[in-house]
Amino acid sequence: MIMIDPELIQVRKDEKLNINSLKLYLSELFNEDLNNFKIMQFGGGHANLTYLLSFNDTEYVLRRPPIGPIAPSSHDMGREHKVQKSLNKLFPLVPKSIHFCENANIIGAKFHIIERRNGYVIRKFFPSFMSVDKKYVDNLTFNSIDVLASLHLIDPSEVGLERLGKPDGFLERQLNGWEDRWKKSTNLDRSKNVFDTLISKLRINMPKPQHASILHNDFKWDNIMWSFEETSKPVAVFDWDMCTLGDPLMDLGHMLNYWIDDQDPDESELVTSMPVEKIFYPRKTDIINYYSKKTGFNIDNINWYYAFGAFKLAVILQQIFIRFLKGQTKDKRFENFDKRIDALIIRANSIII
């Protein structure tokens, strides 16, 4: 099946690259003249910027951080390059990163070049070429959990990532770090009381991790690409800049916050990045139990990770929302993020007692 990638758009006006500088750099990198050079942008995603480069009948993907000030250690393209280059050897769903450019003067930021994968991504709508039914959605669901379980069962030393992070004290550092990011990314008192209450609950109820795994740290459906031919077969997993070593249930708890099923209240539609026009999705309890069966991990404390996932996602959205309020990005998709943030904090407080 030959498909035109629906993710591709013309490069947004305020997210253009320095074409002349980039062409010169790539010509020297690949040691060849670049013919029929074109740049398009992948329109999905809310933070890092992703572009399709085509020249000499070949396509590559370029990834760079968002425009404007960013939090220290976030959107780390060097880290993403290292992870993708290393993890691809044993986990081929990770597109191989070919080159990392440390010279921010080329396009205004550090970036890396990645191999191009072809397939489709599910965002707010299912693809028009699919007949959506329960069987299809079940296959997508449990195939994606198979991917997550497989990642978490990889021995980091087998792919040279054993020093990627520090699993000891991981949960406490995460809680402290995301609380600090919240304080630095908001100048409003909105939601302060419920946010402080949530952090207090998370500290009191913090579980003891049972395993140290390679974490994706933003695992969700719109970071998975599916095959055009075998429509419920994953062909790629994207966005590895936050990958680290730590408690695997953090990935599961994070993903549950993007999930929606027939037991969720209406405001959950503000939070999810998944299609909501048809609710064929397995329930969260089914996903949790399936993951536990595949990994052997105990899921008794999953509500803590679910609540932490809501807390973390609220902070991520706040970091994006404050950039929108300051005019550092003009993407209209971000203008209602305050409602999503409030919904997440309320959710987290209701999950953890």
Closest CA to 251 of 200, 214, 284: 214
pLDDT of the chain along its 353 residues, tens only? Answer: 445 677 889 999 889 999 999 999 999 999 999 999 999 999 876 678 999 999 999 999 999 998 876 666 668 899 999 999 999 999 999 999 999 999 999 999 999 999 999 999 999 899 888 889 999 999 999 999 999 999 999 999 999 999 998 999 999 999 999 988 888 877 656 556 777 888 899 999 999 999 999 999 999 999 999 999 999 999 999 999 999 999 999 999 999 999 999 888 887 887 888 998 877 899 999 999 999 999 999 999 999 999 999 999 888 888 888 777 777 776 767 777 777 888 888 888 888 86
CA-based R_g, the chain, Å: 20
- Segments making up each domain of the chain, as ranges: 8-115, 134-351
Equal fold, 8-115 vs 134-351: no
The CATH number fitting domain 134-351, selected from 3.40.50.180, 3.40.50.300, 3.90.1200.10, 3.40.109.10 = 3.90.1200.10
| CATH class for the region spanning 8-115 | alpha beta
Do residues 344 and 317 touch, judged by C-beta distance below 8 A? yes
